[in-house]
Amino acid sequence: MARRSRLRTRGEKRWWFLMFFLLFFVGIGAALWLIHIYQPNLLEAFQNGTFLTDYEQPEFTDVRGTVYDRNYKELGVSYERVSIYANIREITDLQKVAEELAVVLGESEKTIHDRLNGNTLRLWLARDISQQQEELIRELGLPGVSFHKEYVRYYPYKESGAHFIGFVENNGGLSGIEYLLDQLRIRYRLKRRKINDLERIAEGRPGTDGDHLVLTLDLKIQKALDRFLENSGPIAANGQMGILVMEATTGAIVGYAQRPSFDPNNFHTFSPVVFNDIFDSTIVVPEPFRLFLRDISLIQNEADGRTDPLPWSVAAEKRDRAVSLQLWETLGALTDGPYDFINRRNREQAAVRVFSGQNNPLFDTVPSLMAPLQLVTAITRAVNGGKGVTPRGGDRYIVRDNQAEYLLEDLKPSLKENILKKGVSAEVRALFSSMGQDAILGSSTLTGESVSCVVGDTNRYIRHRVALSLVPADKPDLVIMMVSNEPDYRTGGRNTLDLTFAMDKLIPPVAALQQVMKNLADMVRPKVREEKNFQTGRNGVGLPAKNNDIPSLVITRMPDLTGMSLRKSFRLLRDAGVEIVFKGSGRIVSHKPKAGAALVSGSTVRLLLEPDLVDFVDGREGGHSEKKD
What is the residue-wise DSSP string for 275-339? G--GGGS-EEPPHHHHHHHHHHHHHHHHTTS-SSPPPHHHHHHHS-HHHHHHHHHHHTSSS----
Q: Of 142-151, 214-223, 480-489, 565-574, give the range with the top mean pLDDT.
A: 214-223
The CA-to-CA distance between both ends of the chain, in Å, stands at 91
pLDDT-based confidence at 440, cuts 50/70/90?
A: confident
Q: Is the pTM of this model over 0.75?
A: no
Instruction: Please tell me the least confidently modeled range out of 250-264, 404-418, 520-534.
Output: 520-534
| 193-197, 275-279, 424-428: least confidently modelled range | 193-197
- Confidence (pLDDT) at 224: 93
Mean pLDDT of 237-264: 93
Query: For the chain, give me the number of helices (H) and strands (E)?
Result: 15, 26
Give, in order, the Cα–Cα distances in Å from 251 to each of 72, 287, 377.
20, 25, 8
Distance between CA atoms of residues 91 and 69, nearest Å? 48
Model confidence band, residue 178 (pLDDT cutoffs 50, 70, 90): very high
Question: Which pLDDT score is estimated for 620?
Answer: 39
Side-chain-side CA neighbours of 585 within 13 Å: the count stands at: 24
The proportion of the chain whose per-residue pLDDT surpasses 90, expressed as a percent, equals 23
Please check whether residue 434 is in contact with residue 582, taking contact to mean a CB–CB distance below 8 angstroms.
Answer: yes
Least confident of 61-75, 91-105, 484-498: 484-498
DSSP H or E run through 15: helix 2-38
Helix 94-105, helix 131-140: angle, nearest 10: 150
From the number of C-beta atoms within 10 Å of its C-beta (0-12, 13-18, 19+), residue 64 rates as buried
Q: Among 287, 294, 285, 292, which residue's Cα sits nearest to residue 353?
A: 285
A 10 A CB-CB count for 453 gives 18
* Pick from 213-217, 428-432, 572-576, 610-614: least confident: 610-614
**DSSP category for residue 105:** H
Residue 48: per-residue pLDDT: 40
Q: Which amino acid is at 457?
A: D
Report the chain's mean pLDDT, rounded to a whole number.
77
Mean pLDDT of 337-349: 73
Is 58's pLDDT higher than 50? no
Q: What is the pLDDT averaged over residues 238-255?
A: 93
Residue 520 is predicted with a pLDDT of 35
Q: Determine the pLDDT at residue 228.
A: 93
- From its phi and psi, is residue 611 left (phi > 0), alpha (psi between -120 and 50) or beta? beta
With a cut of 70, say whether residue 37 has pLDDT above it.
Answer: no
Structure confidence at residue 581 (pLDDT): 81
Burial of 20 (0-12, 13-18, 19+ CB in 10 A): exposed
Q: How far is CA 370 from the centre of its chain?
A: 15
Q: What is the pLDDT of residues 124-141, one digit of tens each?
A: 888 888 888 888 989 988
The more confident residue out of 82 and 59 is 82
From CA 412, how far away is CA 551, in angstroms rounded? 39
The residue among 325 and 76 whose pLDDT is bigger is 76
> What type of residue is 443?
S
pLDDT in tens, 70-128: 989 999 998 888 899 989 888 888 888 888 898 888 888 888 888 888 878 888 888 88
Q: What is the CA 56 to chain-centroid distance, rounded?
A: 38
Residue 329 and residue 476: Cα distance in Å, rounded? 22
Cα–Cα separations (whole angstroms), residue 128 to 79, 134, 426: 10, 10, 59
Residue type, 287: E
Rg of the chain, C-alpha, whole Å = 32
CB 439 within 8 A of CB 299: no
Three-state SS for 404? Answer: strand
